[in-house]
Amino acid sequence: MYDKLIQIWKARDLRNSILFVLGMLAIFRLAAHIPIPGVDAQALKDFFASNQILGLMNIFAGGGMKNFSIVMMGVGPYITSSIIFQLLAMIIPKLEEMNKEESGRQKINMWTRWMTVPLAVLEAYGMITLLRRSSHLILGDISAFNLFTMIITVAAGTIFLMWLGELMTEKKVGNGISLLIFAGIVSGLLQISQQVIVTFDPSKLYMILGFLAISIITIVGVVIVNEGQRNVPVQYARQIRGNRMFGGTSTHLPLRVNMAGVIPIIFAISVVIFPPMIAQFFIHARTAFIANAAEWIIGFFQNQLVYAILYFLLVFAFTYFYTEVIFHPTQIAENLQKQGGFIPGIRPGRHTSEYLANTTHKIIFVGALFLGVIAILPLILRYFTGIQSLTIGGTSLLIVVSVVIETVKQIESQLTMREYEGM
């Protein structure tokens, strides 16, 4: 490990890239602590502590939402925009063709950035309105001009983070957007740790040790599942051209246990959050039926058992859905057949496609089950312990471990590339 660190430090451009990324993360954390004027910080903190759904939103906002900072929406609108275009690329043939070319991908990225702007404005307006209607202590009475200023400030903060993320991604030491979310989660974990140390109670020592053990087990499980894959053997037929022989090699096709990453959790959170957020706007409606319906919806989603079951099922279902979106067994079977490859014991073409689809569905079952359990892990721990301050966010640990693994792999690939260049 120390040898790797020495190699990284000696590689000047790699060292500068890492220092640049750390500097951008420091700027992000500084911005996350610059609050928008006119907010009761204590009332806002209490409101977020009592709302599990907003706590999940705060995770993907990088931790700036609970401070009502200038970057309170984080990179959420950009992630939403990216997901929309990913899904459209699977539905619209023209976008799918554009996604296969570099120039087309650049255009899609540009459209993604443009779409982030209206999404940031809408989400900022929705969040500010939600806070105003949920508790008058948080914002109080604000004028139309102040509301407009808040929305523009929050939307500009999202665009600023999007720009920082892309700058970091260009350094090729990790995905910038993921690193921003990672930084927000780590800062939140540090704050929880500090709170535990300050309010340490010897009678709860075994409880704390139990939480630490669960954290370690969760991290190990995340690494195993993220790195887990099934290698499907692939044989390439020999081809004779003149006096030379080509092909005849054996390789494998890796099928990952968790192909979808954290995208199913993001999808599930969006679906779970949407109904109660919309209901908040109608809770004070003049029509009694609409107001009662809004209260029922909010109460329904605040039921921890209902919330946990719905959240688990959505994560499980979206894992299969997103895998179907990004994994195309028919296309893979066609490419193998064109290149003279085949899976031993399986006929090329349709049979290979069906074999890959069936194998993937069996593997993804484990990944979907794991993601579902990770998603509701905080609710399980809260039910058995009754302690909220020490609740371990399985989703947070999943994101942290995934980002660390991805960043380490990119740094190692750059070191390997430099070794080849030096030969």
In this predicted model, what pLDDT tens digit does every residue of 205-230 receive, in sequence order? 777 777 777 778 777 877 888 778 88
Residue type present at position 282: F
Q: Strand (E) positions, 50-92?
A: none
CATH superfamily placement of domain 201-392: SecY subunit domain (1.10.3370.10)
DSSP code for 142: -
Q: How confident is the model at residue 257 (pLDDT cuts 50, 70, 90)?
A: confident
Across residues 268-274, what is the average pLDDT? 74
Check for a shared fold between 1-200 and 201-392.
yes
Domain ranges of the chain: 1-200, 201-392
Bridging pattern class, strands 341-342 and 238-241: unpaired
Within 281-388, where are the H helices?
288-302, 304-326, 329-338, 350-385
Q: What's the rounded mean pLDDT across residues 83-104?
A: 79
**Predicted confidence (pLDDT) per residue in 50-69, tens digit:** 665 666 666 666 566 777 78
* 423: pLDDT strictly greater than 50: no
pTM: 0.76
Q: In CATH, what is the architecture of 1-200? A: Orthogonal Bundle (1.10)
- Interatomic CA distance for residues 127 and 279, integer angstroms: 13
Q: What is the pLDDT of residues 188-201, one digit of tens each?
A: 777 667 666 777 67
